[in-house]
Amino acid sequence: MSSLSRLLAIAAFGSMFLVALGLEWVARRPGSRIPPFTALCGLVMRYRVGPFPVGRVALLGFWWWLGWHFLAR
């Protein structure tokens, strides 16, 4: 039997994934002011501090960490 806290965590995760899907759907409608998730990622990827591509390092690093966290650890 799952505890209440487990159910709440699963509900929180599930609902936020649904919210993200909903935002993406809204973003792709004509005239939407909400940018698609890819546009946000593109903005982060282009963020630099001087010559250093901070955004690119952060996002690629996060991607690498996700792979390690879900597939290897």
Footprint of another protein (CB under 8 A) = 2-3, 5-6, 9-10, 12-13, 16-17, 19-20, 23, 32-35, 37-43, 45-46, 53, 56-57, 59-61, 63-64, 66-73
Mapped onto helix, strand or coil, the DSSP state of residue 46 is: coil
The least CB distance from residue 49 to another protein, in Å, is 14
Give kind and range of the element (H or E) at residue 1.
Answer: none
Separation CA 73–CA 68 (nearest Å): 6
The least CB distance from residue 60 to another protein, in Å, is 5
